[in-house]
Amino acid sequence: MRTATVTRNTSETRVAVTLDLDGTGTFDVRTGVGFFDHMLEQLSRHSLIDLNVRTEGDLHIDQHHTVEDTGLAIGQALAQALGDKRGIRRYGHALSPMDETLTRVSLDISGRPWLVWKTAFSQKRLGEMDTELFQHWFHSFAQTAGITLHVETLHGENNHHIAESAFKGLARALREAVEIDPRRADAIPSTKGTLGGAG
């Protein structure tokens, strides 16, 4: 069972995440930020990763800690569920179109966290969510998940579409990368014999 449960409690947030890499895309997400919930639901549905998230954050200040700590917890849960990463395909790629928008997402479950972000928004908020926090969520997620992640919006005008195509692209790339490769189901996909750390 490739599942994990993570809790992250600080003076700013309380986060509980449960995920199942071999699920059906079932979700139950409540962070207190409606548009953010919508994006995490897209992540679950299109990756086929079951995702349960409960976040209580200091939203009376702003959304920063809520979004950041949720990303850290989901990434940590993903890393735990992957274990030693034996048998996974490791790499994932997706071109994610949404009407006039097209986003490219590529990732490597390498154990070496990195984010390249080439996506921009023309408005400060979507619903009640600060658009600058999308990059911060992807960065936080990549850090604790231990993945190299490239997100690039090739073109797009509608801010809702830009955000949603990024999350759907991540979802589809993750679905590919975490799948077990039947040809190498007992092998770690690295010539080093391990995935994690520098090198």
The pTM of this model reads 0.93
For 116-161, the pLDDT digits (tens) are 999 999 999 999 999 999 999 999 999 999 999 999 999 999 999 9
* Torsion angle defined by CA atoms of residues 4, 25, 74 and 15, in that order, rounded to the nearest 10 degrees: -90
* pLDDT > 90 fraction of the chain, expressed in percent and rounded: 90
* pLDDT (0 to 100) of residue 194: 58
CA angle 126, 128, 134 (to 5 degrees): 55
Question: In the CATH hierarchy, which fold is given to the domain comprising 3-178?
Answer: Ribosomal Protein S5; domain 2 (3.30.230)
pLDDT value at 52 more than 90: yes
* pLDDT (0 to 100) of residue 192: 59
pLDDT value at 199 more than 50: no
pLDDT value at 195 more than 60: no
Of the pLDDT bands very low, low, confident and very high (cuts 50, 70, 90), residue 1 is confident
Are 29 and 44 in contact by the 8 Å Cβ rule? The answer is yes
Paired tokens of 119: 């996506």
Helical ranges in the chain per DSSP H: 34-47, 64-82, 132-145, 159-178
* pLDDT (0 to 100) of residue 198: 42
User: In whole angstroms, what is the distance from residue 41 CA to residue 76 CA?
Assistant: 18
